[in-house]
Structure 1
Amino acid sequence: MQVPPTASRTKADFPWWLAVAAAIAVAVAVFVATNDLYAQVFSTVIQGLGITIFVTLVGFSLASTLGLLVALMGLSGSIWLRQISRFYVEVIRGVPILVLLFWIAFVGAPAFVAGWNALTASLQDAGLLKPLHVRDVSLLWRAIMALTIGYSAFIAEVFRAGIQSVEAGQIEAAKALGLSRFQRFRLIVLPQAIRTILPPLGNDFVAMVKDSSLVSVLGVADITQMGKVYATGSFRFFETYAIVAYIYLVLTLSLSLALRALERRMRKGRGV
């Protein structure tokens, strides 16, 4: 009996890789729970999960806001704003995230403190403000700002491409209806652009989860830093970094699956 093409295609499309990955994840979880050494490593490393999530969520939110602003500057009618936007995107995208992290932490933060103290010198002399010191700017927020600036350039290009994918005729029709620029963007452009923007924006979010591990070079107590401290003190490098890799894999795979489900839902919503 011949198998219908639809049935064979459905069987072939079954995510066997996901079933295997889920089985391995469950097996590893059971092993960690029943092994005293790995359970101790896990309990130590997992303490940095909150910092990892905080850095990712705050950094990505700020990067998306800044990226949208840069994208709108690049699409504005002012040649100066367009040139500033292009300069920002090209320069920031050309600097590695790790280098940017060091620059913001050890050059940008001291420069900001010096500038702030210079601007508020009169208020400080009057006793209304206290002088700001470099140590007052936490390494956590220096790391977040570095990720924000680094990812905003990539996200700006995502927003720009998504906005430009909207047909010009619809914008002209909105103008004819008397909608303001902000109303055209909120009601016409953004709802359509978000369908194009969402997949690459989701990829950037998953990438930031992984790149958040870079904050460990500043001593920020994320998952990687907690693993580094434990491995250095116990010399259990294999066990420690196996657990660190496992946690990141669970995080990134879970986010990727959630984003794919959201994309499928949006396709069904528009009848694709």
Structure 2
Amino acid sequence: MLKFLLILCVLLLSTTSPCEAAEAVSASVVEQEPSLIAEYMHHITTVMPSLIKGARITVLVTGISICFGVFIGLSMSLMKLSSRWWLRLPGVVYVDCVRGTPLLVQILIVYFGLPGLILGLTGQRFPIDPILAGVIAFSLNSGAYVAEIFRAGIQSIDRGQMEAARSLGMGHVMAMRLIILPQAFRRIIPPLGNEFIVLLKDSSLLSVIGVSELLMAGKLYAARTFAPFPTYIGIALVYLVMTVTLSRLVALSERKLSPKKS
């Protein structure tokens, strides 16, 4: 692409013949390509320690958010499946509100709105740490999507199994804990893993509130060196390594938990 643009400029502006000008520029670009690649590799290797440091924060925020998200999601899914309307309604409202608004807006609401809400209710200032705001926003967002994953998994289990468990004297909670949820969990591992991968990649949105995660670390380096292209290539490589590793772990867990075929 670079060759094409340079040759096109020469063809338009050169006073010599177009063929001679194009050959001259092409030869010049070929000579410069090794140094250009070396420069890009230099920037990628130089920025990599900063990217790895930012990736640690990315993994930390994502991991904590996943733990809270699974807890919230399981609770909301059980509330949505409840026969009592006063339990079902809050679950439905929560899932619809979170899934119906952008994650970036939720991050901004938590970071800027939560301190103002606490100030209005208590009269005390509550400066919130950007990482804490990110964990809260990600946990709430992930919880809504995980709730739908759990709900679909639970409803995929044959209803007769619950009836059989109840006929054996099990209560609803015991039957759900010992019979339904273990089977549902094995079925939801693939979509649950996809949700975790999406959450990992969405962590780049935390740069808007100043979290020094992977993308922010790269942006700071690019601003200092005026080398955005190799920097963002390095960021993409780090994200690729993390997502591929996570997807392989999910696949391994799926194989380990899948029922053995006789």
Is the Cα contact below 8 Å between 2:62 and 2:200 reproduced in 1? yes
Between the aligned residues of both structures, percent identity stands at 37
Partner amino acid, structure 2, of 1:134: F
Aligned length: 225
Partner amino acid, structure 2, of 1:169: G
Is the Cα contact below 8 Å between 1:41 and 1:239 reproduced in 2? no
Match of residue 264, structure 1, among 252, 255, 259: 255
Could you state the TM-score of these two structures normalised by the residue count of structure 2?
0.80
Is the Cα contact below 8 Å between 1:223 and 1:244 reproduced in 2? yes
Are 2:159 and 1:201 aligned? no
Task: Using the TM superposition, give the Cα deviation of residue 89 of structure 1 relative to its aligned residue in structure 2, in angstroms.
Answer: 1.1
Are 2:126 and 1:134 aligned? yes
Task: Using the TM superposition, give the Cα deviation of residue 176 of structure 1 relative to its aligned residue in structure 2, in angstroms.
Answer: 1.6
Task: Using the TM superposition, give the Cα deviation of residue 99 of structure 1 relative to its aligned residue in structure 2, in angstroms.
Answer: 1.0
Are 2:220 and 1:214 aligned? no
Match of residue 239, structure 2, among 228, 235, 248: 248
The aligned counterpart of 1:237 is 228
Could you state the TM-score of these two structures normalised by the residue count of structure 1?
0.78
Task: Using the TM superposition, give the Cα deviation of residue 35 of structure 1 relative to its aligned residue in structure 2, in angstroms.
Answer: 4.7
Which deviates more from structure 2 when the two are superposed, residues 232-241 or residues 81-90? 81-90
Are 2:163 and 1:172 aligned? yes
The aligned counterpart of 1:56 is 62
The aligned counterpart of 1:16 is none
After TM superposition, what 4+ stretches of structure 1 lie above 2 angstroms from structure 2?
34-38, 112-115, 264-267
5+ residue gaps in structure 2? 1-36
5+ residue gaps in structure 1? 1-30, 119-130
Distance in 2 (CA, whole Å) between partners of 1:211 and 1:62 is 16
Task: Using the TM superposition, give the Cα deviation of residue 177 of structure 1 relative to its aligned residue in structure 2, in angstroms.
Answer: 1.6
Cα deviation digits, residues 53-96 of structure 1 (max 9, x gap) = 11000011111111111111001121122122112111211101
The aligned counterpart of 2:33 is none
Is the Cα contact below 8 Å between 2:43 and 2:227 reproduced in 1? no
Distance in 2 (CA, whole Å) between partners of 1:244 and 1:38 is 9
The aligned counterpart of 1:95 is 101
Partner amino acid, structure 1, of 2:226: F
User: What root-mean-square deviation, in Å, do the aligned CA atoms of Structure 1 and Structure 2 show?
Assistant: 2.0
The 1:109/1:163 distance shift into structure 2, 3 A limit, reads farther
The aligned counterpart of 1:24 is none
